[in-house]
Chain A
Amino acid sequence: MNGLQVTGAGHRIKRAMAVGLILIYATGTCTAATLEKNIAAIRAVGPEGQGHSAAIAAMKELSVGPADSLFPLLNAFDDASPLAINWLRGAVDAVADRELKSTGHLPAAKLEAFIKDTSRRAEARRLAYEWLIKVDPAAADRLIPGMIKDASPEFRRDAVQRLIKLATGAQEEKQPERALKLYHEALAGAVDDDQVKSIVTPLREMGQTIDLQKHFGFLTEWSIAGPFDNTGLKGFDTVYAPEKGIDLAATYDGKEGPVTWKKVSTADEYGVLNIAKQLSPFKGAAMYATTTFDSDKARPVEFRLGTPNAWKLWVNGKLVFARDEYHRGVQLDQYSVKTDLKKGPNVILLKVCQNEQTEEWAQDYKYQIRICDSTGAAILPSPAAATSQVVR
């Protein structure tokens, strides 16, 4: 996890904490009911400091709780909000840190069982793992190999890295078939681009064909209409006709004359649709792009978008996010937006706006977008359904 050494606190602090805990137990303040009440207070924290008063009081007691409280705290991660998870994490770390420093032990067997229980929240299992390997470093070799498709991106990453290392070793030992198999196993779980690159490069050198568009789940085929006027950035919030309803046969009044929908696609393996190069380097413009995605079931997904331009995204007519930032960089998975897909065709509408900056670095007008699960693993359209997406 890191290169820090865990060092002991001073004897005075240890003794003070130990005596303090004894006092807490002696006065009966640390009961199961109290623990439950305190955890409930933590789980109730919300935006803008909601629930802080009760949560702060609860944290004072939870932070000095016994080692046995680790598991109720870890269990409480289930369906907790990202804010509450960090509060719970603070309590877990305080309890585990004190226990380890004062006794040199942690409940390793119970931690390992918790890690293996994939019904538990990925963040809690990972946290349990990071404490476990402080007392049992060998646990990594027992646990990580089975985590190639874990719900925790960090576990996945560790499992993929292990396979990459094995594959690299096999290559060095002139075992190409074994290396090929290991690289393919690694690619099946890889969601982070640096790891994908380190797998795809040797696979291609071995003559393998890898479809990165499919691996990442990029949306590559679109109907696009524009430009509409974004002079003075006013087009971002102007409701042009496509926002009122998509009619692929319609003709609209655009910034430079009549506008119709045109079919465009990208062969870029990272799914970049380059408006400036494939269509025109419009300035002060708003473009609309639409596609449909057939989902085999109703499911929560993440739309991950990269663009240096301002954008709005609608899924099935619902605005899911809007962002008016221009030319502050572009990266894969720059934005992640959580939403739900319904079973069957889902209509996706993207509005991408270009400003009027004249600097050379401000001429990009492009986007890439993919659909994935919370780990970053691609969700592909249903192959049985008619779709505008081509799965290669």
Chain B
Amino acid sequence: MRFFVLVWMIGFSAATLQAGDWRQFRGTNGSSISTETGLPIKWSATENIAWKVKLPGRGLSSPIVVGDRIFVTCSSGFRQDRLHVVCLNATDGSVRWDRQFTATGRTMTFPKICNATPSPASDGQRVFALFSSNDLICLDLDGNLQWYRGLTYDHPNVSNSLGMASSPVVIGDTVVAQVENDSQSLATGIDVATGLSRWTIERPKRANWTSAVTLTKETGADDNLVLLQSSAGIAAIDPITGKSAWNYDAGASTIPSAVVSEGIIYLPSQGITALQPPKGSANPEVLWKGNKLGPGTASPIAYDGRLYTVNAAGVLIAADLKTGEEKWKLRLEGPFSGTPIVADGLLYIFNEKGVGQVIKPGDTSGEVVGSNDLGEMFLCTPAVSGGAIYIRSDSTLWKIAK
């Protein structure tokens, strides 16, 4: 009897939705916004660092958080073909497990990045770890392999010599992987339990590093759709059938990804284009275009009546969320690869030099209230959970907390 009680306890703790979870790239709902409060504004290598852990390989994937467990992907070896999925305890950074696999797809990337570029995702019971080699690994929270797919193994020309970066997204019982490049592109919706593709669709033959986003009640919409962005625009797909619901074909960026807030899509397209999703199969309505709001690498954030973008020159731009009208600009210390996150009314953004900047946004201006150097190159978007910020470099995972 005691065994079953223990199993029940373990299973319950693992599967229960945790309010503070950060389950995928840019958070559980992809907004980059956390409800956490009390995060530090100042930190250094010796101040407000709860712990730091040496990682077993390189990576710029974001950490994710499920309950009290942190999941990080890494790649190692001369060919970056050793794939790691690492689970750590949030409390002290101790390693619960490190599962390793061998890439079945191409591992070549631009030298600055590596195989562990896409961020993992979780449905609260499983972790889905996608790599640039398009190996998609599903583990339970205890590190037991559930299934393994090799998307380049299945489709040998699905690869990019610069590396792939699109992170998977979970919508209902489907995990969606978008793997697009110049030679062969596809997206597939995979049953989380079986690893079998519910659908696989051809996508534009053009290199694309953006990540899918969802139109669901969690993102303020009545729909249940996954949005696939590419150089062609953005397509709304039924996650169960893979059928197209609607399409916006005026083009879009292939690096920063769209964000959805209160059901409106803010698409990096001709700067930023705000789209009202249609009812039924009509075309989406263009609400406004802000051609001076174009983001660099970081994806936009919609927060508290403002749209925030960081352009290629490292300037933070705040615009009116309803109109796209620019409200203020603030030059930050760049360059940036990761997307900012918002918590407790502040924006946090880490540059490639290791400096985490904290910005207090106002109506007419923004102010840098913290500038904190950890001395390592950060290319990822941080995760926020349990009163802490998690940020990783090629060598270290940091927990920043008071």
Q: Which residues of A are at the interface with B, using a C-beta cutoff of 8 A?
A: 1-7, 9, 12-13, 15-16, 19-20, 23, 45, 47-49, 52-53, 55-56, 59-60, 63, 82-83, 85-87, 89-91, 93-94, 97, 123, 130, 153-154, 157, 192, 194, 308, 321-326, 328-331, 334-335
Contacts and interface: CB of A to CB of B under 8 A. Distances in A.
B6 A15 contact: yes
Contact of B144 (A2, A49, A90, A157): A90
A97 B86 CA distance: 13
Given A52-B147, A94-B144, A3 B160 contact: no
B56 A97 contact: no
B172 to A, nearest CB: 18
Nearest to A45: B148
Contacts of B57: 2
Main secondary structure of the interface of B (DSSP, over half): mixed
A1 B84 CA distance: 11
Contact of B145 (A53, A91, A323, A325): A91
A376 to B, nearest CB: 9
A3 B55 contact: yes
A56 B194 contact: yes
B183 interface: yes
Contacts of A59: 144-146
Given A7-B94, A86-B102, A56 B147 contact: yes
Given A3-B56, A52-B196, A83 B97 contact: no
A330 B56 CA distance: 27
Interface string B243-274: 00000000000000000000000000000000
Contacts of A20: 3, 7
Contact of B182 (A23, A48, A321, A328): A328
Contact of A5 (B94, B143, B162): B94
A2 B56 contact: yes
Interface stretch (B104-112, B276-284, B343-351, B364-372): B104-112
A280 to B, nearest CB: 24
B231 interface: no
B379 to A, nearest CB: 17
Nearest to B205: A324
Given A19-B3, A93-B143, A47 B102 contact: no
Counting chain B residues whose Cβ lies within 8 A of the other chain, the interface size class is 35 or more
List the 5 closest pairs (A to B, CB-CB), nearest first: A90-B145, A2-B56, A3-B54, A16-B6, A328-B161
Contacts of B207: 328
A13 B54 CA distance: 25
A261 B183 CA distance: 29
A323 B155 CA distance: 12
A335 B57 CA distance: 23
B360 interface: no
B183 A86 contact: no
B322 interface: no
Interface of B: 2-3, 6-7, 9-10, 53-57, 76-79, 84, 86, 94-102, 104, 106, 108, 110, 135, 137, 139, 142-150, 153-154, 156-157, 160-162, 181-183, 190, 194-197, 207
Nearest to B53: A4
Contacts of A16: 3, 6-7, 10
A9 B96 contact: yes
Contact of B150 (A13, A83, A329, A335): A83
B154 A157 contact: no
A4 B78 CA distance: 19
Given A7-B94, A13-B10, A56 B146 contact: yes
Contacts of A1: 56
A192 B104 contact: no
B79 to A, nearest CB: 8
Nearest to A97: B97
Given A2-B57, A56-B195, A91-B145, A324 B102 contact: no
Contacts of B99: 90, 93
A85 B196 CA distance: 19
Contacts of B97: 97
Contact of A334 (B145, B148, B157, B161): B161
A29 to B, nearest CB: 15
Given A6-B95, A9-B96, A94-B144, A49 B149 contact: yes
Contact of A83 (B55, B79, B95, B153): B153
Contact of A49 (B77, B95, B106, B195): B195
Contacts of B55: 2-4
A89 B7 contact: no
Nearest to B96: A9
Contact of B157 (A5, A153, A323): A323
A194 B78 contact: yes
A277 B339 CA distance: 42
Given A4-B95, A7-B94, A83-B150, A329 B162 contact: yes
A82 B98 CA distance: 20
A132 B137 CA distance: 25
B58 to A, nearest CB: 11
Contacts of A97: 97, 143
Contacts of B2: 19
B183 A47 contact: no
B154 A48 contact: yes
Nearest to A194: B78
A47 B153 contact: yes
Contacts of B78: 153, 157, 192, 194
8 contacts: A9-B96, A12-B6, A16-B10, A48-B154, A63-B144, A94-B144, A153-B79, A328-B181
A40 to B, nearest CB: 17
Contacts of A335: 106
Contacts of B86: 4
A334 B107 CA distance: 9
A45 B104 CA distance: 14
Contacts of A321: 156
Contact of B108 (A12, A90, A334): A334
A304 B72 CA distance: 32
A28 to B, nearest CB: 17
A325 B101 contact: no
Contacts of A12: 6, 9-10
Contacts of A23: 3
